[in-house]
Amino acid sequence: MKVIGLDSSGLTATVAIVEDDKLVAEYTVNHKKTHSQTLVPMLDEISKMTELDLSTIDAIAVAKGPGSFTGLRIGSATAKGLGLALNIPIVEISTTEGLAYNLFGTDKLIAPIMDARREQVYTGLYEFEGDELKTILPATAEPIEDTVARINETGRAVMFLGDGVAVFKDKILELIKVPVSFAPAGKRLQSAASIATLGLKLLGEGKAIPARDHVPDYLRLSQAEREREENK
């Protein structure tokens, strides 16, 4: 089985092709250009480089959120367009779960954090049991203080990763009461290889959906909807 992975949920643009247990190609860019300008050209580049026959692709794995609303939509609309044109399904992968998978095999708690603005992080809590990634807390949006307090209660060593580290590292170091570490450069940000690998697994479990049915999981309502709810 062969899957294309896409993640444009944060500042990172990343695309990958994974076939069974082989990473065929991965292209990851952390640069100021918008995902709209980079994502498809990157996919085109790795496809040419690896002489990819697109008709051999079984599914598109896409980071479904949380993340930047616009970033998520660029990834989703791209995945949906690919699904429509190639007549293949989509596998939706939680952005935080995809990040956690970067740290395969660690015995520490895994805490992905992404800057969610409004003084919050998008986060979740994960751990590996052997080869299996287990979700302790699914993706949520909350103040970093709440995230650290929850981890402190476990008494276990934790590794943070994600673009939130750059923003909240000082705050974490100030509040944390358990052994703490931060993922190194090559593992810290979104990786489409992780998205595609998880995608292959879900595809095997029959959890792919028709491309037309995919929508991002924003975790938050739009501002207008929030204000309308509050004023009811």
Partner 1 sequence: MAGKKIMADKLILAVESSCDETAAAVVKNGREVLSNIISSQIDLHTLYGGVVPEIASRKHTEQINQVIEEALKTANVTLKDIDAIAVTYGPGLVGALLVGVSAAKAISFATKIPLVGVHHIEGHICANFIENKDLEPPFICLVASGGHSHLVKVLDYGKYEILGRTRDDAAGEAFDKVARAIGLGYPGGPKIDKVSYEGNPEAISFPRAKVEGSVYDFSFSGLKSAVLNYLNQCEMKGIPVVQADVAASFQKAVVDVLVDHSMTAIRESGMKKFAIAGGVASNSHLRKAFEETCAKEGISFYRPSPILCTDNAAMIGAAGYYEFIQGNVSGYDLNAVPNLRLGER
- Using CB under 8 A as the criterion, which residues of the chain lie in contact with partner 1 when the complex forms? 34, 36-41, 43-44, 54, 69-70, 73-74, 76-86, 211-212, 215-216, 218, 222-225, 228
Starting at the edge strand found earlier in the chain, the sheet holding 90-94 runs 22-29, 13-19, 2-7, 59-65, 90-94
**Measured from the CB atom, is 29 or 175 closer to partner 1?**
29
**Measured from the CB atom, is 23 or 86 closer to partner 1?**
86
Q: How deeply is 75 buried, as exposed, middle or buried, from its count of CB atoms within 10 A (0-12, 13-18, 19+)?
A: buried
Q: Strand pairing partners for 29?
A: 13
Q: Least separation, in Å, of the C-beta of 40 and partner 1?
A: 4
C-alpha 176/C-alpha 110 separation (Å) is 14
**Cα–Cα separations (whole angstroms), residue 156 to 28, 36, 124, 161:** 31, 40, 15, 16
Q: Least separation, in Å, of the C-beta of 215 and partner 1?
A: 5
Q: What is the DSSP letter of 106?
A: -
Q: Least separation, in Å, of the C-beta of 76 and partner 1?
A: 5
Pairing type for strands 158-161 and 109-115 reads parallel
Q: Which two tokens stand for residue 148?
A: 């650290």
**Measured from the CB atom, is 205 or 229 closer to partner 1?**
229
**Measured from the CB atom, is 54 or 166 closer to partner 1?**
54
**Measured from the CB atom, is 79 or 116 closer to partner 1?**
79
Residues contacting 118, CB < 8 A, separation 6+: none
Q: Least separation, in Å, of the C-beta of 2 and partner 1?
A: 14
Q: Least separation, in Å, of the C-beta of 134 and partner 1?
A: 30
